[in-house]
Amino acid sequence: MKKVVIDLLKNELKMKAWAARGIPSEKGTGVPSLSGKIENLLEVPPSGEMGDYAFPCFALAKSLRKNPMEIAKELAEKLRKKGLGKGMEGVDFKGPYVNFFIDKKILAEGVLKSVGKKGFGENSSGKGKNIVIDMSSPNIAKPFGIGHLRSTIIGNSIWKICEANGYKVTKINYLGDWGTQFGKMIFGFKKWGNEKKLGEDTIKHLLEIYVKANAKEHEEAAREEFKKLEGGDKDNLKMWEKFRKLSLKEFDSIYDLLGVEFDVISGESKYNDKMDAVVAELKKKKIVKKDDGALIVDLKDEGLGVALIQKSDGTSLYATRDIAAAIDRKKEYKFHRLIYEVGQEQKLHFNQFFKILDMMGHSWSKDCVHVAHGLYLGEGGKKFATRKGKTVFMSDILDDTIEKAKKNLMAREKLSKEELEKRAKKIALAAIFYGDLKNSRENNIIFDIDRFLAFEGDTGPYLLYSYARASSILRRVKLKKAMKIIDLKKEEIKLLKKIDGFGKVIEKAYNQLAPNLIANYCYELAQTFNEFYHGCPVLGSAEEGFRLKLVDSFRVVMKNGLDLLGIGVLEEM
């Protein structure tokens, strides 16, 4: 439909008179050169009453040296005189805009037909290209906190968005399973550890120990233990393996509940034996230098400060392991892009290590991106800190939200126990996922339990509810082949246009790696559907066939949209 408008404009703007006036033209087309192509200039007016497409005349005003309002008027009148052809209903001008009205019945048929095709809204621009996402990445022996939730939820959605754009994606859960902290854990466990408690309540017990071991007076001893671990000490290694295994078991139950899966479970420990080679290469290329007994890369000239590569006791650091990991991944996956879904507080670290990769001669370092998210902050806008033991446990939040959903459901109708469990879980997850993803990534979020528990208004459950309403209509009757369109009401047109916009949103969400665009779209889609629902009765109406098809289309798009967010739908609610 848009193409018809573009062609009309292109034709009209080819006027010889303009060329005669010496106005430069876009190569080959004869169209006066505009600051962009007509396709890009064409807009959708803020309200449907103004038109379906609008052409702003500002760009022409410059080359024609004429008031844009006059140009719009002239253009609209000329087009009207010439006749618009099929698919078009009319053309008008308002201020400096030429507004086009398209034939709504043709729009309706076109939209409904394309939704019926497989993969509506998806595109194949990433065909044949690999993307690797490093996401979730909780630390072993520490609680899976609300911070890792963000990485997990956002990473999961970015994965789906990439796939909807045709890319092949590998999701890696890159565990924080190596580093000085394990010196602390091992030291602490030797001193205060209890095998029984470890088996029963792994994370809580380990956290207790961690908080104690974190005291300054144990620093030296902890460092010793890590050095032994990295050196291959059997006892320490055994203890570390146990921590890792038991932690992973706890994490798995959370992933299982969230419905998030990974292609690869990896971790920093994987690169323990590749570290020496990286350090050697950095030395050979004279990128590192010794400073206070430690190895550093001086990036001050780049405005990136100083990166530590190796501690003065010879043990490794985060940056070193990340360098080794990136090189390894490039070899293994030949990625087009390597995405790190990690909190924004690590921005400097990523900029440093991308730069070091570049200095080592890895030109693909430009394909590495840090997709940063803001932090969940505690009350008063302060950072949550594990060290102070003030941690919000993921499992508690999930339980509370599910509990709230259950209460809500029980107040409505009597359900079997399984049905209650099933619905409460989905509603709670929708609330949590949507509550996170609707925010733009970079922003910090002040953690507020009420926010997670709210089910009205701009929330996940609202989206599920809209979907369930649509399902409820369709459950009662069969879809009909005949779809007579008598006269389209404004709610129907709005819904059709909204559905039509799905593909654009998927593209944009990929370009910006921004799941919140999908979330915003789903919300608007649900709102538009609810307006339709109230304004246009479906069952028993004269245009029942068409409206059923429209409801069905909404349902398909809503389901796909929610899927991109990692949210599963409910047929009844």
Classify the C-alpha dihedral 455-458-459-460 as positive or negative.
Answer: positive
**Encoding tokens for residue 294?**
């430690």
- 501 in contact with RNA (CB under 7 A): no
**Amino acid (one-letter) located at 442:** E
Q: Does the protein bind RNA through residue 346 (CB under 7 A)?
A: yes
Here the tokens at position 494 are: 């709005």
> What track of x and - describes contact with RNA for positions 463 through 492 (by CB under 7 A)?
--x--xx-xxx--x----------------
Q: Does 61 bind RNA (CB under 7 A)?
A: yes
Q: Are 59 and 41 in contact (CB under 8 A)?
A: yes
Is residue 274 close enough to count as binding RNA by CB under 7 A?
no
**Residue 43 is a binding residue for RNA (CB under 7 A):** yes
Residue (197 or 344) nearer to RNA, CB: 344
As a whole number of angstroms, the distance between CA 2 and CA 106 comes to 12
Nearer to RNA, 168 or 348 (CB): 348
Q: How many CB atoms lie within 10 A of CB 113?
A: 11
Q: Which residues within the stretch 417-436 sit at the binding site for RNA (CB under 7 A)?
A: 423, 427
Residues 13-42 that bind RNA (CB under 7 A): none
Q: Is 389 in the site for RNA (CB under 7 A)?
A: no
Q: In three state form, how does the secondary structure of 439-485 look?
A: CCCCCCEECCHHHHHCCCCCCHHHHHHHHHHHHHHHHHCCCCCCCCC
Question: Which 3 state secondary structure label does DSSP give 43?
Answer: strand
Q: Pick from 218, 227, 274, 311: which binds RNA (CB under 7 A)?
A: 311
Judged by CB under 7 A, does residue 383 bind RNA?
yes
90 binds RNA (CB under 7 A): no
Q: What's the sign of the alpha-carbon dihedral 345, 346, 348, 354?
A: negative
DSSP of 70-117: HHHHHHHHHHHHH---TTEEEEEEETTEEEEEE-HHHHHHHHHHHHHS
Contact range with RNA by CB under 7 A, out of 124-132, 236-244, 258-266, 342-350: 342-350
Q: Does residue 330 interact with RNA by CB under 7 A?
A: no
Residue 365: CB minimum distance to RNA, A: 18
Binding to RNA, residues 194-223 (CB under 7 A) = 223
Of 242 and 349, which CB lies nearer to RNA in the complex structure?
349
Which of 82-90, 250-258, 277-285, 375-383 is the region at the interface with RNA (rule: CB under 7 A)?
375-383
For residue 179, state whether it binds RNA (rule: CB under 7 A). yes
Q: Does residue 152 interact with RNA by CB under 7 A?
A: no
153 binds RNA (CB under 7 A): no
CB 432 within 8 Å of CB 395: no
What amino acid occupies position 216?
K
Contacts of 195 (CB under 8 A, 6+ apart): none
H or E element at residue 503: helix 502-512
312 is an interface residue for RNA by CB under 7 A: yes
Please tell me the distance from the alpha carbon of residue 501 to that of residue 495, in angstroms, as a whole number.
10
Minimal distance in Å, beta carbon 16 to RNA? 25
Nearer to RNA, 367 or 531 (CB): 531
Nearer to RNA, 82 or 382 (CB): 382
CB of 530 to RNA, least distance (A): 4
Q: Does 561 bind RNA (CB under 7 A)?
A: no
By rule CB under 7 A, what count of residues binds RNA?
102
The yes or no reply on residue 51 touching RNA (CB under 7 A) is yes
- List residues bridging with 445 in a β-sheet: 376
Q: Which of 239, 250, 249 is nearest to 193 (CA)?
A: 239
Minimum CB distance to RNA, residue 442 (Å):
4
Which one of 215, 277, 280, 306 is in contact with RNA (CB under 7 A)?
306
Position among 512, 556, 563, 568 found at the interface with RNA (CB under 7 A): 512
The one segment of 10-18, 104-112, 159-167, 450-458 that binds RNA by CB under 7 A: 450-458
Would you say 417 and 445 are in contact if contact means Cβ atoms under 8 Å apart?
no
**DSSP-derived 3-state class of residue 338:** strand
Check residue 130 for interaction with RNA (CB under 7 A): no
572 touching RNA, by CB under 7 A: yes
Is there binding between residue 558 and RNA (CB under 7 A)? no
Sorted by sequence, the CB contacts under 8 Å of residue 4 that are 6+ apart come out as: 85, 87, 88, 102
Residue 197 or residue 218: which is nearer to RNA going by CB? 218
Q: What is the dihedral of CA 562, 564, 565, 566, to 10 degrees?
A: 90
CA torsion sign for 382, 383, 386, 391 is positive
Per CB under 7 A, the list member of 218, 451, 489, 559 interacting with RNA is 451
Residue 97 engages RNA in binding (rule: CB under 7 A): yes
Binds RNA by CB under 7 A, chosen from 1, 12, 408, 559:
408
From 4, 54, 203, 567, residue interacting with RNA (rule: CB under 7 A): 54
Contacts 24+ apart (CB under 8 A), 388-391: 388/211, 389/207, 389/211, 391/143, 391/145, 391/207
| 511 touches RNA (CB under 7 A) | yes
- At its nearest, how many Å lie between RNA and the CB of residue 520? 5
Does 443 engage in binding with RNA (CB under 7 A)? yes
Shortest distance in whole angstroms from residue 38 CB to RNA: 14
Q: Based on CB atoms, which residue is closest to RNA, 273 or 313? A: 313
Token look-up 């047929």 returns: 571
Q: Can you list the positions of beta strands (E) in 216-362?
A: 264-267, 289-291, 294-298, 306-310, 337-343
567: contact with RNA by CB under 7 A: no
Q: How far is CA 116 from CA 160, 469, 554, in A?
A: 21, 20, 11
Q: Which of residues 218-257 bind RNA (CB under 7 A)?
A: 223
| Contact pick of 215, 277, 280, 446 for RNA (by CB under 7 A) | 446
Nearer to RNA, 168 or 274 (CB): 274
Is 305 one of the binding residues for RNA (CB under 7 A)? yes
Which is nearer to RNA, 104 or 406 (by Cβ)?
A: 406
Cα(261)–Cα(464) distance, integer angstroms: 22
Length of the chain, in residues: 573
